[in-house]
Structures are given as C-alpha cells and as structure tokens.
Amino acid sequence: MRASLFIKGPLNVGEMQSRKDLMKEAALLSLPEGMEIDQIHITETGLVVSVISTHPQSCCPLCSQPSSHIHSHYHRSLKDAPCVGRQLQLSLTVRKFFCRNPDCSRKVFTERLKRLAEPWARMTTRLREQITSIGLATCGKGGVRLANRLGIETSRNTTLRRMMDMPDDARGSVVSSSH
C-alpha cells in the first residue's frame, strides 16, 4: 500500500493542501530556511518527504559569484533521522545554476545545501550526528542495536566510520607534573 498526500495538521489520508500551507509543516522536520516540503508519501517502510529549495539564487562554490540563472534540476535522496517512529527519506529537487563570472572555470554548479547535508552525502547532517552520538555513547559496542531500536538503520562499519570522521581535539597535550 502506498499513499501520497499533502499534510497539514493531523495526518488525514486523502487530505490535500497547498504548498503554502506545507511550508508551515517544515518546522516539524527542522528544515533549514529556504527549504520547503512539496509533498509527503507514506510507504510500508516509512515516509518519503519531497523537499524543494526556494532560494532565488545560489553562489558558485569556486568564485562565490551569486547566480539566479537556473541550468537544470535533478533529484537527490538522503536518509534522515526517523520521524514518529518511521524511517524518513528526503527526496530533494536540487538545482544547477550557470556561473555568471566569465573568469571562473566552473560554468555550471549545483546549489549547496550545507545546513542540510554535505555535497555528495547520502544522509543528512542530523542523521550523521545522531549516529556519531550513538557510537560515542556506546563506545561502538551495541550502537547498531541501539540505533535500530531508535529507528535508525545503520551498520557497525558506518557507526565506526562516523566516529572516526570526528576531528581530532587538539586543545593541548596532557602535562604530567612531577612532585
């Protein structure tokens, strides 16, 4: 069974609402400013939330020149933290822009959604941080079982990789004192 619906307020199957009303629901998922829920699909395994960017322009990652001239769109899927006990997948419509700087070597660039996910990432920053926290709290042991219990689908290798990706804390060295 697969239902497709727009959501406003309590989940009523078949209820349709406008995009403007769905913008209010973006707070439920803590989407960054400029991101908007387009629609929500309920599947047997979880929720698929279609999200679009509403920023009028984006800056080239090489030269930082803003552009509002859209080249094309593509879809990108990201795993996100579970919502109401269901696995959550974000289906993003991402835009590509023309770089308007004639001196820049990059002619077309993809908008960056840094507050949502890193470029080329397959999971949101929020989910990555949750997996890292679970790994650190459990010292890696039992982290996968705890994550699965919380509705987060992960593996032992992913949990360990998230822990290893943490920056080294170089605040100083331990100084032993001789008495």
Query: By C-alpha distance, which of 36, 41, 11, 33 is closest to 23?
Result: 36
Q: What is the pLDDT of residues 12-22, one digit of tens each?
A: 444 444 555 55
Q: What is the pLDDT of residues 78-122, one digit of tens each?
A: 999 998 878 999 999 999 999 999 999 999 999 998 889 998 899
DSSP helix, strand, coil percent of the chain (3-state; round to 5): 20, 30, 45
pLDDT, mean of residues 123-127: 94
Specify the amino acid at residue 80: D
Q: Which residue has the higher pLDDT, 35 or 29?
A: 35
Tell me what pLDDT residue 111 has. 94
Q: What is the pLDDT of residues 46-90, one digit of tens each?
A: 999 999 998 999 999 999 999 999 999 999 999 999 988 789 999
Q: What is the pTM of this model?
A: 0.75
Query: By C-alpha distance, which of 6, 15, 134 is closest to 81?
Result: 134
Tell me what pLDDT residue 141 has. 75
